[in-house]
Each structure stands twice: as C-alpha cells, then as structure tokens.
Amino acid sequence: MTNRHNFLSTLASEADRDISIASLFDAEPNRLSRFVMREGPLRADFSKQALDGKALDALLDLAAKCDLEEWRAKLFSGERVNTSEDRAVLHMALRGVGGTAENQKEVAEMRTRMADYANALRADGKFKNIVHIGIGGSDLGPRLVADAFEARAEQSLTLRFAENVDGASVNDAIKGLNPAETLAVVVSKSFGTQETKMNGESVRDWLGQYGGTNMIAVTANRDRAVDFGIAPENIFDFWDWVGGRYSVWSAVGLSLQIAYGPDVFSDFLDGAKAMDLHFRDQPLQENLPVMMALVGIWNRNGLGYGSQAVIPYARRLRKFSAFLQQLEMESNGKSATRDGDATTLTCPVIWGDEGTNGQHAFFQWLHQGPSEGRYGGAPVDFVAVLTDHENRPAHHAALLANCFAQSEALMLGKDEAVVRKENAARADIDALAPQKTFPGNRPSTTITLDELSPNALGHLIALYEHKTFVQGIIWNVNSFDQWGVELGKVLAETILLEMAAGAAGDHDPSTTALMGLVK
C-alpha cells in the first residue's frame, strides 16, 4: 500500500528530533492518562517511551491508513488471513472468540474431551508423572505456562519436558521416573518434526511394555500418529487454523490440564478471552495491543532500534523472553511482503532474561552501550507481578524495587556534571567522569500484573499475540507462515542420511569437512 510505504519511509524524519522522555511529563500534563492502559489484572505504562502525543497521533493515523480495523475484522471472522498457506487464523476461537459455528463446535467438543480425560487421570491416580514431548510452539508455550501456574496452582503430577534432539533432553526428562507411572504426551502438529519423533521413539522404547498404553498424542495429523503406534482413541486433535506458536490454548495444553486441573486451564483461557474482546472491540486509540504495537513500530521504524529486550521480574516467567522470540520473530521476521515485494525494518531481535539476573549481565550495555537506535541501548519491556506468591515479602519488595529503579535509571541517566561534583576530589576525574556518565533517555515500557494468576497470564500472552498481528499488518507481512524454518530442516534430514551412510553428498567444502569429523 502506497500510504503505508510512504509513511514508514517518513517515520525516521518524524523521529529526527530530540525528545527528552523525562521532560515529557511536564510538557504533557495528561501523559499518564494517555500512555497508561489497563485491561483486567494487566496494566501497561508506556509513558517512559521516547514518544510524545504528536508522534502517537501520527502512528494512529498510520494504523488507520493500513486498514488495521478491516484486517482485525477479517481475523476474528475467520477469513483466510494466512494468505501463503490459504488458511484462517483462529487461535482466538480456542478461547471462545471468533470463528464459525463449526469452529466453536469443534473446540467445545475437544475442550470437554480434554477436561474429562484430565479429570479421569487425576482421579485414578495411576500416573504420577507426565513427560511432555514437543518442540517450538509445542514446547515453549506449555513450558512457560507450567512455570507460571506454579505460582497459584497445586501440581498433582510431576511434569517434565523433552524438547531438544540432544539426548540430554530426553535423558533429563525420564531420569528417576518409573515407566509404569509415567504418561508420555507426544505433541506435534505435523507429527513429522524430527526432534519430536526421535524423542518420542526414545521414550516409547524406555516405556517398554507400557508403550502401548502410557503414550498419547496431540496432533493435526492423525494418520501419522497412528502410524507411530498411538491408538486412535489416545489421539487429541487440533486444526490447521491453529499455528504452532499460538497452540498452547488447544489440546497442546493437555499436559497442563492433567498436571494442574481443567479449572486452572479454563481460567487461563478466560484471561486470554478478555484480552481478545478488548482488542476486537476497543477503538484504536484506547486499544492496549494496538498501543504496544505502535510503540514498537516507532522504536523500530522511527528511532531505528534493531532489538527489543523483554525482562520479566518474575522467576516463574523466566521462559517469557524465549516464548516471545518464537511468537514475534517467527511471525514477523520477514523480508518479503504479503504481495511478494522486498521489505526492510520489520521485526527487531527479541531477547532477554529474568530480572534481576540480567542486571548483572547485559544491563551494562543497556545503560551505557551504543546501538543503531537513536538513543542507544535497546527499548525494554519490563514485566512485574505485584503480589508476592512465594511468602517472602522482603525478597518481593527488593525484586520490585529493582524493576522500577531500572526503568527510571534508563530514562534519567546521570550527566557528567553530576559525576564530576560527586567525584570532585579524584585526581583522575577527567578520565573517570565519562566512564561514570549515563546518557539516559533510553525507552522502556513497564507491564504489571496484579497477581500471577492463570487469568492474568492469559491476558499477558494474548496481549503480545495481538501486538504481533498489528505489527504484521503495518509492515504488510504474513505473520502466520514460517517458511524460513523449513530449509534447514530439509537439509538436516539429507545430512543425517549421508552421515549414516558414511558418504557426504554435494555440499560446500566447509559442510563436507564438518561431516567428516563425525565418527
């Protein structure tokens, strides 16, 4: 679209003016009311972004010119917005929003079957352990959610994960477990993913005589699961309109239901549903996912930042940054538009770690390092939980204090005059002052959850899902395919066969030499 292209190309010039974030609070008396938004237990504070009201108005105009409202309606109605694969995108239907009557019927039937199965297993008591086998969306979502559920829900079965094709992954998952008391859940949309099949085969061998009864599958390819040896009645379906990185809401979350109970999982779905309805129904200027997306567009296309840090100050959200790497970079890490044209400056690199660990690692770079972005460092999303779920109030107060202090320090910095005044007696002040100067004016968003409940977690994940969709529309990329994932997988299968045969095929000299190292 010409309007989109023209506006994105002029964002940099719009941003080519010095904005002092701290001074915006005086210049815009209503800044908090406009730049802070809440939905249910989630509050997002965008006021420490290098973005003023003028720039926000321009970004909202961009969203309108990109027909965001029309695309949003297409998404929820079930139109085939995944154009390259000719598929609808209806993970919201898993939460009870959008899609057709047939979609909702399928979802309701599967949710009932999952809940009945989970309740029956929990009541029976035969199984003490679950080994969840999957990778990518079949692992990152469930693993993140399992960690977070621990804050509020009681885990009735031991839940472990086997995701990596590295043998250490499956060995760690089954270590110390009794096969007779262990249920293996093999999760793969295609049931053709190499890592999942290999780990599934290894666990099946470990189960031995219990392999036929203690293994179930979650897949969109029932035939392959049957060929693998899973009994048809032990297969739980999900559909091609559910992308892998959006699938935790589906039967992919069955392990979570068994471990924590269907009621806990339903609360998780309800939290996401509330965010779905907010995103669907609220006007753009009052829409939390839209605001988050536009802030990201400003930082990427206006201020030129090449990366985005996400720092959860909650140990039970420690997988959140990794989860978002797949959600955002697999969705919008594209250099071709929906129309096949070349494009640049789409998804930034997403990275991070849990706070306060990151403060003792990469925060040096965030505070004082250079960057391709206008103000240095990288924009940060801080995520904090206001309620102490660990019964350690002193620890929790210190955790929150660090989170709030870091966002303030990134914004304010410390200028050289202050450093010189504080260290006036030092003979080496001329050399020292620049090293202890913090430029500040580094943008951040702070997201707080009232508590780390399943409902709040649902709000949080759905917020980032919809943010990703909005940015894909503005960048004019298909956020729901992932062709870049495929090439390396195909080559890996070829190389594996050649290494087994002891004869390398037609490869570059480096790859051939590497294959020759394998004995």
**DSSP codes, 309-324:** EEEEE-GGGTTHHHHH
**Higher-confidence position of 152 and 252:** 252
User: 91-266 has which fold?
Assistant: Rossmann fold (3.40.50)
360 belongs to the catalytic site:
yes
489 belongs to the catalytic site:
yes
Please give the model's pTM, rounded to 2 decimal places. Answer: 0.96
> Strand 42-45 relative to strand 36-39: parallel, antiparallel, unpaired?
antiparallel
User: Please, where in the chain does CATH 3.40.50.10490 lie?
Assistant: 91-266
pLDDT beyond 90 at 428: yes
451 belongs to the catalytic site:
no
pLDDT beyond 50 at 438: yes
Q: Which of 102, 175, 233, 360 is catalytic?
A: 360
Sorting pLDDT into bands at 50, 70 and 90, what band is 1?
very low
Q: Which of 109, 416, 489, 493 is catalytic?
A: 489
The secondary structure element, H or E, covering residue 216 is strand 215-219
Distance CA 121, CA 115 (A): 10
Query: Minimum mean pLDDT among 219-228, 369-378, 437-446: which range?
Result: 369-378
| 3-state DSSP assignment of residue 489 | helix
Instruction: Give the model's pLDDT for residue 14.
Output: 74
> Strand 158-162 relative to strand 129-133: parallel, antiparallel, unpaired?
parallel
Q: Which of 163, 328, 330, 465 is catalytic?
A: 330
Asked if residues 275 and 289 have their Cβ atoms less than 8 Å apart, the reply is yes
Query: Minimum mean pLDDT among 7-21, 173-187, 369-383: which range?
Result: 7-21
